[in-house]
Amino acid sequence: MTTTSDAVRSPVRARERTPNTAADRMKALGRAELTLLARNKSAMFTVLALPTVLTVSMHSAVSSMDLKQTGLTVGTVLLPGALGYVLLFAVYSTLTGVYVVRREELVLKRLRTGELRDLEILAGAALPAVLIGLAQAVLLAVGGSVLMDVPVPGTLWLAVVGLLLGMVVMGALAAATAAVTKSAEGAQIAVMPMMMLSIAGSGMVVPLDVLPGKLASFCELLPLSPVVGMIRDGWTGAGTGEVLRELLVMVVWTFIAVLVVRKRFRWEPRR
């Protein structure tokens, strides 16, 4: 710092500033988060390996299921389930951890002193998980289709919309879960209810069609159910008969999540 005085320049006045867009800021933050994700071995395993491993391990269970009355095949049960795993592990669970850890590290507080708006911080930090999740969903869908000889989705756009909306719902729920979680250790437990309920009750393993009526109606209201439902209906070409109900469930969950985040999300750790 010997040349300090020479190096310091006068402040830049407001009108001389190069403007900076929300996209610039989220890109910069997303890039940093991607670097961090790549350096975190256990997160990389959760994001990259778990969805595939779980899908493969479900294969024999689904194969022994009696699917005749539902019109589904092993492939159309397994593949939407695989995308469900991507949403749960690569997006929901990973993001909850990211938010909580960045809060503990005081990174969120530091970011809030800058130009990023609150939503940009949450969205920018979510970019890598969402993008990796999307890439992986595509790989699983294509690879699984080829291996299990599943035809191309009948209503492809519906499956794609379902997946994209699923990213939004999971991202919002991750922020909400982080909002009610106090510590990094707590985050691993805090994501469990949502993970268990979704795997058991959102049609990922057992299609809701084969459940008793009342139980099925309840399960339809779980956050991931409309997502898996939409993806499956897109695949089977079953049509858009359920779309309105599914959209409504997604909107309600997202709304609840946003409400929790607005009320409860803390940007710095409790002291």
Partner 1 sequence: MAGTANVIEAEELRRTYAGGFEAVSGISFSVARGELFALLGTNGAGKTSTVELLEGLAPPSGGSVRVLGHDPYTERAAVRPRTGVMLQEGGFPAELTVAETVRMWAGCTSGRPEGARRSRSVRGGGRATGGAVDEALELVDLGRRSDVRVKQLSGGEKRRLDLALALLSRPEVLFLDEPTTGLDAEGRRDTWELVRALRDGGTTVLLTTHYLEEAEALAERLAILHNGRIAASGRVDEVVAAQPSHIAFELPDGYHLGDLPPLDRLGVSSHETSGRTVRLKTNALQQAATGLLLWARDSGVELRGLDVRSASLEEAFMKIAQDQRQEEETLR
Summarize as ranges the residues that interact with partner 1 (CB under 8 A).
1, 4-5, 7-14, 16-20, 24-25, 27-29, 31-32, 35-36, 39-40, 102, 105-117, 267
Distance CA 147, CA 82 (A): 14
231 token code pair? 């993806």
Q: Nearest approach, Cβ of 135 to partner 1 (angstroms)? A: 22
Is the CB of 27 or the CB of 262 nearer to partner 1?
27
Closer of 59 and 266 to partner 1 (Cβ): 266
- Nearer CB in complex with partner 1: 102/232: 102
Q: Burial level of 152, CB count in 10 A (0-12/13-18/19+)? A: exposed
CA distances from 180 to 52, 212, 229, 269 (A): 29, 33, 28, 12
> Crossing angle for the helix pair 156-179 and 118-148, nearest 10 degrees?
140
Least distance in Å: CB of 34 to partner 1? Answer: 11
The smaller minimum CB distance to partner 1, of residues 86 and 108, is found at: 108
Q: Which is nearer to partner 1, 15 or 68 (CB)?
A: 15
- C-alpha span between 35 and 256 (Å, rounded): 31
Q: How far is the CB of 113 from partner 1 (least distance, A)?
A: 4
Q: Distance (Å, rounded) from C-alpha 262 to C-alpha 88?
A: 23
Q: In the complex, what is the shortest distance from the CB of residue 39 to partner 1, in angstroms, rounded to a whole number?
A: 5
Nearest approach in angstroms of CB 262 to partner 1 is: 15
